[in-house]
Amino acid sequence: MALVTTAEVCDTNPQLIVSGELRALHPVFQIYGRRQVFSGPVVTLKVFEDNVLVREFLEEKGNGRVLVVDGGGSLRCAILGGNPVVQAQNNGWAGIIVNGCIRDVDEINGCDIGVRALASHPIKANKKGVGEKHVPVNIAGTRICDGEWMYADTDGILVSKSELSV
């Protein structure tokens, strides 16, 4: 999707929007990382103020996937920091969407990966390893499931039930 914007996708696919096959996340995310445009198949994770499972996922090969982390919208601590993002970049993840906070913003902004989060916060997360992998999550007004496709650029974030041919 390098040459087609999310706005163009929406303009040319109104039937997919009406049917719910294509959904736009509410515009609540800040843009981090050097890769402002990214897309890929979704992997979901649900945690709350705990980043152990986030780190575990990003230690795996990403193969161009997008990790979608429902952090419950917490603004009390960061569930993603610079070290895991560097690891994600090196392991081939396309992007990370965090319904929560991140930290180490300067380090993340130096990485060739796309990151979206609600805000930055200096306090680190808990390390209990509590959460759910590969479950449907509801973030930014949208239900997102494992295996769906995520498309992000500076206009917004779209999720589709299948890969779009653009």
The DSSP code sequence of 34-88 is: S--SEEEEEEEEE-SSB-HHHHHHHHS--TT-EEEEE-TT--SSEEE-HHHHHHH
Separation CA 68–CA 53 (nearest Å): 12
Q: Is residue 48 within 8 Å of residue 70, measured between CB atoms?
A: no
Q: Is 83 annotated as a binding residue?
A: yes
Phi then psi for residue 124, to 5 deg, are -80, 160
Separation CA 159–CA 145 (nearest Å): 9
Here the tokens at position 131 are 């959460």
Q: Is 82 annotated as a binding residue?
A: yes
Q: Is 84 annotated as a binding residue?
A: yes
Q: Is residue 146 within 8 Å of residue 91, measured between CB atoms?
A: no
Separation CA 158–CA 22 (nearest Å): 7
Binding residues for substrate: 81-84, 103
Binding residues: 81-84, 103-104
Binding residues for Mg(2+): 104
